[in-house]
Amino acid sequence: MFTGIKQRFTQLIVVTIVLASCNSAEAPKQEVVDTTAQTSMEPAATSFPVSMVNNKKDPTCGMPVTAGISDTAHYKDKVIGFCSSGCKDEFKLAPEANIAAAELQ
Ligand SMILES: [Zn+2]
């Protein structure tokens, strides 16, 4: 009899642990929602017209500038548009090697 109660008690603990781990698994989901909120703010920062830049493509990721420019850099009297400041930062590390990919007009 006692062992039977003990087993049920153990099962109850296991169920509690599973429920607890389910709750903790939901926490990262909330972080994803936060990230989405930040991402949705990016288009608002996209305020550079395509006509302002001299490149056709983001030299870092290859994305066409018509998809949206959220950051620009000046390089050899040309204005280079980037989809993100992260792409600009990466371009600045090796502009000579990446400028061809920008397809300057
Ligand atoms: Zn990019």
Domain presence at residue 71: yes
Q: What's this model's pTM, rounded to 2 decimal places?
A: 0.57
Domain presence at residue 2: no
Name the region of 45 (left: φ>0; alpha: ψ -120 to 50; beta: rest): alpha
Closest CA to 65 of 84, 89, 39: 84
Confidence of residue 9 (pLDDT cuts 50, 70, 90): confident
Q: Domain range spanning residue 71?
A: 41-102
* Number of folded domains that form the chain: 1
Look over the chain and give the mean of its residue pLDDT values, rounded to a whole number: 80
Domain presence at residue 24: no
Share of the chain above pLDDT 70, in %: 61
Q: How crowded is residue 63: how many other Cβ atoms within 10 Å of its Cβ?
A: 17
d(CA 57, CA 68): 10
Q: How far is the CA of 30 from the centre of ligand 1 (A)?
A: 27
Per-residue pLDDT of 52-99, as tens digits, reads: 999 999 999 999 999 999 999 999 999 999 999 999 999 999 999 999
Domain presence at residue 91: yes
CB-proximal residues (5 Å) to ion ligand 1: 58, 60-61, 63, 83, 87
d(CA 84, CA 72): 9
